[in-house]
């Protein structure tokens, strides 16, 4: 009993930094990794094709192959099997699947050692900057351990050794910025962040879904480039913002259009800033 109490005390007193060191032994950050919160984006080999911009998402209970990617793989649509179970998020728009297909997927194909597993992909037609979304089913089949601080993933090879894949941070950021231009702003509030497979019999209505893995708590998308303030009314609070990287000619033309249509703008309560009415578009 004394030995047990001593061992328990030693475990409880274990320094968290020491524990983390043992859990991530030999796990080194990939290239370009600084202080970041980027998603895990890798490349895989399917049907003799290298598929880049593959998102590893541990929060999804389904493996998703997007329709545009499926067509580029030159696989016959006749190989798709019916898929009756819907995809559902916490909230969002309704979607119907194209079916599902089982494809052998190779990981770490450009190294001496690799691993190939069969993945059941649900084929979905949706606007997204990613080609594939790998959820828990494929990660569990692979036996993968994902470390987002290191942007790396480890899993055993067929020979019993450990294989490490590092994420493509550049591709991850390209996908993120591209995704900002895909979904309309009005759809953002109704979208969830994960995809899950559910049983329709437990639902009293058609299921909802979302395939946008970006984590974004903002009310709306902010411009990627810097912006400058532009006075649109007589009062100091009556301002809007335009891009700072525009040419003088372009900025002058845009300002004329805004002033000509300033009746389409309204002051938002509490902020005093201007924004376009619903139905109006900014140039």
Question: Largest Cα–Cα distance in the chain?
Answer: 85
Walking along the chain (283 residues) 10 residues at a time, the average pLDDT comes out as 48 47 53 71 92 92 92 93 74 72 90 89 88 95 92 90 90 83 48 49 44 45 68 78 82 84 61 45 40
Looking at residue 30, what is its pLDDT?
Answer: 56
- State how beta strands 132-134 and 49-56 pair: parallel
Cβ proximity of 25 and 154 under 8 Å: no
Cβ proximity of 125 and 67 under 8 Å: yes
Domains and CATH numbers, the chain: 29-185 (2.40.70.10), 227-276 (no CATH)
Looking at residue 123, what is its pLDDT?
Answer: 94
The reported pTM is 0.56
The string of DSSP codes covering 165-200 is: EE--HHHHHHHHHHHTTTS-HHHHTT--S--EE--G
DSSP 86: P
Helix (H) or strand (E) holding 11: helix 2-12
| Alpha-helical runs (H) found in 14-168 | 16-23, 67-72, 136-142
Return the SS3 of 23.
helix
Looking at residue 28, what is its pLDDT?
Answer: 58
CA–CA gap between residue 271 and residue 265 (Å, rounded): 14
Looking at residue 93, what is its pLDDT?
Answer: 57
CA–CA gap between residue 42 and residue 56 (Å, rounded): 7
Residue 279 class from Cβ within 10 Å (0-12 exposed, 13-18 middle, 19+ buried)? exposed
Q: 261 in the Ramachandran plot: left (φ > 0), alpha (ψ -120 to 50) or beta?
A: alpha
């Amino acid at each position: 009993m004394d030995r047990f109490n001593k061992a328990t005390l030693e475990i409880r007193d274990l320094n968290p930094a020491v524990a983390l060191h043992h859990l991530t032994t030999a796990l080194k950050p990939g290239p370009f990794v600084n202080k970041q919160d980027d998603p895990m984006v890798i490349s895989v080999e399917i049907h003799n094709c290298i598929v880049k911009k593959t998102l590893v998402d541990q929060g999804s209970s389904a493996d998703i192959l997007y329709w545009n990617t499926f067509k580029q793989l030159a696989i016959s649509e006749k190989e798709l099997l019916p898929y009756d179970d819907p995809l559902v998020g916490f909230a969002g728009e309704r979607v119907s699947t194209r079916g599902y297909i089982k494809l052998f997927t190779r990981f770490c194909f450009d190294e001496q050692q690799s691993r190939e597993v069969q993945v059941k992909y649900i084929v979905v037609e949706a606007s997204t900057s990613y080609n594939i979304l790998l959820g828990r089913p494929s990660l569990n089949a692979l036996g993968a351990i994902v470390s987002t601080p290191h942007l790396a993933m480890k899993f055993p090879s067929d020979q019993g050794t450990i294989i490490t894949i590092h994420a493509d941070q550049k591709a991850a950021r390209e996908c993120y910025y591209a995704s900002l231009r895909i979904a309309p702003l009005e759809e953002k509030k109704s979208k969830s962040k994960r995809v899950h497979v559910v049983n329709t019999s437990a639902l009293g209505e058609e299921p909802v879904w979302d395939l946008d893995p970006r984590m974004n708590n903002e009310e709306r998308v902010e411009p990627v480039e810097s912006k400058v303030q532009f006075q649109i009314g007589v009062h100091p609070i009556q301002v809007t913002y335009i891009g700072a990287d525009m040419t003088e000619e372009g900025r002058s033309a845009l300002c004329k259009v805004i002033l000509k249509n300033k009746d389409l703008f309204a002051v938002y309560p509490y902020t005093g800033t201007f924004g376009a009415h619903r139905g109006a578009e900014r140039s």
